[in-house]
């Protein structure tokens, strides 16, 4: 039997979204965005605690293998979180530009657009300026000319631990 509540003739084109729906979506995106960031740092904290626990005492091949496996698994989880982070930020930027009108010279004013500093597609905003320069940190009155981010620091930490685990696996004798 046909369900009377199901529309068998859906509209061929979706009308422009209700501004309140867009605002609700943006709020949900921001909440999810904060959750992903919190999860990234919580995972890193637990990872660092686990490293301390694993490497305490005498190192062994088993501990090195455990450290390598855990590091690779959590790095993969970090890469997935990074993907979610970027997808949420991309949609947030799209809402800011397409629905709220932050285009042209105002293209980098709202939250996601300012934070991500990615130029909008030329076909959607041909008059947007180039992204603002990256924020370079200052270290002892010296401007570091390398863009430093949490993502790079996470990658560096995982890489160092994996290399350490592999080194100890091949240099430690016995169990």
pLDDT in tens, 95-148: 998 888 888 888 778 888 878 877 777 888 888 878 777 677 777 777 777 777
Residue 175 has pLDDT above 70, yes or no: no
Distances from the Cα of 171 to the Cα of 62, 96, 167, angstroms: 13, 54, 6
pLDDT bracket for residue 8 (50, 70, 90): low
H/E stretch holding 139 reads: strand 138-139
Quote the CA–CA distance of 110 and 128 in Å, as a whole number: 14
Domain assignment of residue 123, given as a range: 19-171
As for how many domains the chain has, the answer is 1
In a domain? residue 4: no
Cβ 59 vs Cβ 168: under 8 Å: yes
In a domain? residue 8: no
pLDDT in the model for residue 110: 82
In a domain? residue 7: no
DSSP 95: I
Average pLDDT over residues 80-106: 90
Residue 3 has pLDDT above 70, yes or no: no
Residue 17 CB: number of other CB atoms within 10 A?
13
In a domain? residue 3: no
To the nearest whole number, what is the mean pLDDT of the chain?
A: 86
Beta bridge partners of 138: 143
In a domain? residue 156: yes
pLDDT more than 90, % of the chain: 51
Its pTM stands at 0.77
pLDDT in the model for residue 89: 92
In a domain? residue 157: yes
Chain centroid to CA 64: 28
Question: How much is the CA Rg of the chain, to the nearest whole Å?
Answer: 23
In a domain? residue 140: yes
The pair of three-digit structure tokens given for residue 136, joined into one six-digit string: 């370079």
Distances from the Cα of 26 to the Cα of 32, 33, 96, 149, angstroms: 10, 10, 9, 24
In a domain? residue 32: yes
* Non-local CB neighbours of 74 within 8 Å, separated by 6+ positions: 43, 47, 158
* Non-local CB neighbours of 160 within 8 Å, separated by 6+ positions: none
């Amino acid at each position: 039997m046909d369900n009377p509540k199901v529309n068998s003739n859906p509209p061929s084109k979706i009308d422009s979204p209700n501004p309140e729906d867009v605002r609700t979506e943006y709020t949900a995106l921001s909440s999810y965005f904060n959750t992903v960031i919190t999860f990234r740092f919580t995972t890193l904290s637990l990872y660092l605690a686990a490293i301390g626990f694993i490497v305490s005492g005498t190192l062994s091949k088993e501990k090195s293998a455990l450290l390598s496996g855990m590091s690779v698994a959590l790095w993969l989880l970090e890469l997935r979180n990074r993907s979610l982070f970027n997808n949420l930020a991309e949609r947030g930027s799209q809402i800011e530009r397409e629905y709220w009108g932050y285009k042209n010279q105002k293209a980098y004013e709202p939250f996601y657009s300012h934070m991500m500093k990615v130029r909008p597609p030329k076909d959607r905003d041909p008059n947007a300026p180039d992204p603002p320069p990256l924020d370079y940190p200052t270290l002892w009155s010296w401007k570091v000319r390398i863009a430093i981010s949490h993502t790079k620091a996470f990658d560096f930490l995982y890489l160092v631990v994996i290399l350490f685990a592999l080194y100890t696996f091949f240099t430690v004798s016995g169990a």
